[in-house]
């Protein structure tokens, strides 16, 4: 069974995964409209005929009317503590905005898909993974039509902003990737693979809640 992604709304569309997701959604014949929520208009999206930009400075101001009538909602929104500037600022983005976005789809027929993290766990001693885990737990308690959790490991690709540790890891992986077996669950994945997994989940998932781990993402084209 294939579920048609007729109308999609996306937050985090300007990030590494978000950009690849927009490209893939735009190629779908049955996808009629893609709304990207952005803080300022992005010229990169003007080339996509199906994309409409919804400019909103504060994503917490999104309301029920803004997100009504979408078959699918995608969140690729995420940052780092360093970029956010503090743990509090990071929490406000990664948890508060994503939680608010999810709240809007309670009691609707919209399929919500979220990019989380491989180590997501509310009890994790690592703050980043702890917040990701708390978010997953929170959303799973909501009355959603359908929910997909995508848990990638390190993402390969060129970002608009620099992330020193990830950049170093990518370079090391580039040198030794031939030594890493495909079955290695921590193997880095590309943004393209993550985006493809999201599209595939949107089209084929029948379970109310499903988790797509890193091994599953690796097997995505």
User: pLDDT (tens digit, 0 to 9) for every residue of the chain, 221 residues total?
Assistant: 689 999 999 999 999 999 999 999 999 999 999 999 999 999 999 999 999 999 999 999 999 999 999 999 999 999 999 999 999 999 999 999 999 999 999 999 999 999 999 999 999 999 999 999 999 999 999 999 999 999 999 998 764 555 455 454 444 445 544 445 555 578 899 999 999 999 999 999 999 999 999 999 998 86
The CATH class that applies to domain 7-155+190-213 reads alpha beta
Contact predicate 107/142, CB 8 Å: no
State the pLDDT at residue 67: 97
Domain limits, the chain: 7-155+190-213
Q: Kindly report the backbone phi and psi dihedral angles of residue 138, in degrees, each rounded to the nearest multiple of 5, phi listed first.
A: -60, -50
pLDDT in tens, 106-127: 999 999 999 999 999 999 999 9
Q: DSSP letters along 149-198, please?
A: EE--SSEES--SS--HHHHHHHHHHHHHGGGS-TT-TT--EEHHHHHHHH
State the pLDDT at residue 186: 82
Question: Which of 1, 19, 14 shows the shortest CA–CA distance to 198?
Answer: 19
State the pLDDT at residue 177: 46
């Amino acid at each position: 069974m294939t579920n048609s992604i007729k109308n999609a709304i996306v937050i985090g569309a300007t990030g590494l995964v978000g950009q690849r997701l927009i490209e893939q959604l735009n190629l779908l014949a049955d996808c009629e409209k893609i709304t990207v929520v952005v803080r300022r208009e992005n010229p990169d999206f003007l080339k996509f005929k199906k994309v409409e930009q919804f400019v909103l400075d504060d994503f917490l101001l999104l309301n029920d009317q803004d997100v009504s009538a979408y078959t699918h909602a995608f969140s690729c929104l995420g940052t780092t503590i360093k970029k956010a500037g503090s743990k509090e600022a990071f929490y406000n983005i990664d948890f508060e905005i994503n939680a608010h976005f999810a709240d809007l789809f309670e009691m609707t027929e919209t399929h919500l898909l979220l990019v989380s993290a491989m180590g997501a766990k509310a009890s994790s001693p690592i703050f980043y993974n702890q917040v990701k885990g708390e978010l997953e737990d929170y959303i799973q308690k909501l009355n959603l039509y359908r929910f997909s959790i995508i848990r990638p490991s390190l993402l390969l690709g060129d970002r608009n902003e620099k992330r020193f540790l990830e950049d170093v890891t990518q370079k090391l992986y580039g040198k030794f990737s031939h030594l890493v077996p495909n079955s290695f669950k921590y193997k880095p994945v590309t943004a393209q693979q993550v985006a493809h997994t999201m599209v595939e989940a949107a089209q084929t998932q029948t379970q109310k809640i499903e988790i797509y781990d890193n091994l599953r993402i690796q097997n995505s084209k």
